């Protein structure tokens, strides 16, 4: 990741930009606005010129760049994501979420596994479920979330931070910092500080190489699927408790044994997020910006309708409304089958939500939300083992059933194996078929 490599990548982008403009007869600014307008129109419940698409091929099989590049070779990773955008020409491009693998290793991260680190280079990122907050620690968290994070949470998530458990309660340090300096000068704290500094240097170097990959794709004419670094509200606070603190088992038990503590934790998390959120910047390109909100445990396989109404939906609704109030399009990703639970989205302002759903929900969701919110329908994950003709037939059927009158964006999950021409032909065929 040398300065020369970064300059070379920038020079490649300038050359590609000129080639695009020569080939299309349009500036990349015009191409960007055409794609952004298509997405903006369909989200605002206007009928665009055609159905918009985003794509998610297997990066490794499509470009030959291993998945580990997203952690250890940011320039190669950016080239891979750029290749996907240039060849498949999505209306909304994904720059990925790369992370510095060397920093994760230095910190001894416990809740993640990543390719090129604990996993082989060809594997995908994996989250590690854990009870990172114990059942009897709700009061500690609710009384002082910052103290809990520093003295309990970080030492469990990062092996290098184990010494932090020796710190006294941070809220009691009114008599001066100097009293704990001998502890901070001990060998274990010095070792921790050195490893944190190592992680910091690795992160700084990685960020310098990755730059603003989303803006670089935008400069080539491709709008971002979701705009990072914005609202900061996030998704349902229940998911934060369930995935980041108590774990799935713990949060499910808590709905029965300590429901009020669970609800109080959800409220604290949401209120702190709202208090520190940043409004959308109308001066930057791509308005209104889409704020992604990943969701995990609100579907019917995890909780009953009554539990959804009590523990999940109130926090998610407040998060989405706060996101909208900040000037964003709320972009919730409903994992698995939600069915009639999607009716709650009618409680939010028209044209301000882009509902990301699995294809199994598409027809029912179109019937529920028609004329009120746009659907972002994800082709099934099983399409990785489908033939190209099967993917094309399935997608055309979705367009026939859900595309009438607009209100539909399709996220293409593509076969894991195929030639570049097969991928390009598929997308070209679907773009033509999706015209209004």
C-alpha span between 35 and 26 (Å, rounded): 13
Query: Which pLDDT value is given to residue 385?
Result: 94
Of 317, 306, 307, nearest in space to 270 by CA: 317
pLDDT band at 1 (very low <50, low <70, confident <90, very high): low
Q: So what's the pLDDT on residue 284? A: 84
pLDDT digits (tens, 9 = 90+) for 360-378: 999 999 999 999 999 999 9
pLDDT at 291 over 80: yes
Q: Quickly state the pLDDT bin for 61 (edges 50, 70, 90).
A: confident
Reported confidence tier of residue 313, pLDDT bands at 50, 70, 90: very high
22: number of Cβ within 10 Å: 8
Given pLDDT bands bounded at 50, 70 and 90, which one contains residue 333? very high
Chain Cα centroid distance, residue 103: 20
> Is the per-residue pLDDT at 124 higher than 80?
yes
Alpha helices, DSSP H, located in 343-419: 362-369, 388-402
Which sign, positive or negative, has the C-alpha torsion 342, 344, 345, 350? positive
- What is the average per-residue pLDDT within 135-147? 97
Question: What pLDDT does 229 receive?
Answer: 56
DSSP track, 280-298: --TTSSSSSPEEEEE--S-
225 burial via Cβ count (<10 Å: 0-12, 13-18, 19+):
buried
| pLDDT tens-digit series, residues 8-59 | 999 999 999 999 999 999 999 999 999 999 999 999 999 999 999 999 888 8
Helix, strand or coil for residue 377? Answer: strand
Q: How many CB atoms lie within 10 A of CB 330?
A: 28
- Percent pLDDT > 90 in the chain is 88
Query: In the predicted model, what is the mean pLDDT of the chain?
Result: 95
Residue 24: CB atoms within 10 Å: 12
Distances in Å between the alpha carbon of 165 and those of 60, 132, 200, 245, 332? 41, 14, 21, 17, 36
The token pair at 424 is 């390009």
Element (H, E) at 213: helix 213-219
- Residue 14 tokens read as 């300038």
Q: Which of the four pLDDT bands, split at 50, 70 and 90, describes residue 239?
A: very high
Residue 108 has pLDDT above 60, yes or no: yes
The pLDDT of 128-147, averaged and rounded, is: 96
- Taking a C-beta distance cutoff of 8 angstroms, is the pair 122, 238 a contact? no
Two structure tokens written together for 103: 């920093």
Q: Which two tokens stand for residue 155?
A: 């030492």
Q: Is the per-residue pLDDT at 231 higher than 70?
A: no
The model's pTM is 0.94
> What tens digit of pLDDT does each residue of 364-421 get?
999 999 999 999 999 999 999 999 999 999 999 999 999 999 999 999 999 988 999 9
Cα(23)–Cα(19) distance, integer angstroms:
6
Q: Which residues contact 51 (CB under 8 A, 6 or more apart)?
A: 42, 399, 403, 408, 409, 410, 430, 434, 436
Percent share of the chain, pLDDT over 70: 99
**What is the rounded CA–CA span in Å between residue 242 and residue 318?**
18
Indicate if the pLDDT at residue 149 is higher than 70.
yes
> 234: Cβ–Cβ under 8 A, 6 or more apart, which residues?
240, 273, 293, 319
How far apart, in whole angstroms, are the C-alpha atoms of residue 243 and residue 254? 13
């Amino acid at each position: 990741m040398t300065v020369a490599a970064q300059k070379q990548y920038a020079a490649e982008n300038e050359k590609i930009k000129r080639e695009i403009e020569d080939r299309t007869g349009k500036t990349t600014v015009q191409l960007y606005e055409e794609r952004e307008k298509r997405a903006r129109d369909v989200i605002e419940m206007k009928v665009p010129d055609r159905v918009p698409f985003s794509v998610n091929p297997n990066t490794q099989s499509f470009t030959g760049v291993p998945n580990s590049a997203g952690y250890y070779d940011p320039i190669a990773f950016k080239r891979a994501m750029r290749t996907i955008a240039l060849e498949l020409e999505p209306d909304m491009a994904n720059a990925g979420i790369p992370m510095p693998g060397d920093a994760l290793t230095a910190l001894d991260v416990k809740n993640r596994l990543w390719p090129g680190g604990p996993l082989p280079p060809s594997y995908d990122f994996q989250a590690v479920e854990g009870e990172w907050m114990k059942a009897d620690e709700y009061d500690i968290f609710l009384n002082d979330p910052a103290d809990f994070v520093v003295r309990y949470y970080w030492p469990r998530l990062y092996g290098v931070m184990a010494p932090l458990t020796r710190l006294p309660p941070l809220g009691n340090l009114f008599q001066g910092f100097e009293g704990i300096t001998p502890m901070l000068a001990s060998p274990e704290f010095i070792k921790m500080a050195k490893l944190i500094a190592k992680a910091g240097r690795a992160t700084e170097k990685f960020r310098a190489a990755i730059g603003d990959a989303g803006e670089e794709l935008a400069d080539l004419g491709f709008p971002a699927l979701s705009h990072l670094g914005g609202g900061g509200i996030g998704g349902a606070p229940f998911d934060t408790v369930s995935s980041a603190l108590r774990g799935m088992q713990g949060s499910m038990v808590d709905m029965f044994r300590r429901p009020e503590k669970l609800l109080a934790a959800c409220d604290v998390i949401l209120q702190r997020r709202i208090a520190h959120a940043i409004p959308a910047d109308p001066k930057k390109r791509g308005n209104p910006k889409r704020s992604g909100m990943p969701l995990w445990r609100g579907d019917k396989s995890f909780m009953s309708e009554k539990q959804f109404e009590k523990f999940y939906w109130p926090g998610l609704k407040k998060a989405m409304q706060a996101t909208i109030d900040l000037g964003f399009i709320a972009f919730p990703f409903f994992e698995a089958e939600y069915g009639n639970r999607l009716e709650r989205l009618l409680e939010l302002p028209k044209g301000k939500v882009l509902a990301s759903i699995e294809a199994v929900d598409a027809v029912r969701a179109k019937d529920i939300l028609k004329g009120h919110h746009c659907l972002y329908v994800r082709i099934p994950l099983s399409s990785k083992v489908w033939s190209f003709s099967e993917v094309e037939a399935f997608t055309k059927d979705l367009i026939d059933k859900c595309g009438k009158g607009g209100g539909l964006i399709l996220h293409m999950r593509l076969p894991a194996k195929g030639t570049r021409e097969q991928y390009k032909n598929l997308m070209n065929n679907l773009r033509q078929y999706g015209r209004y």
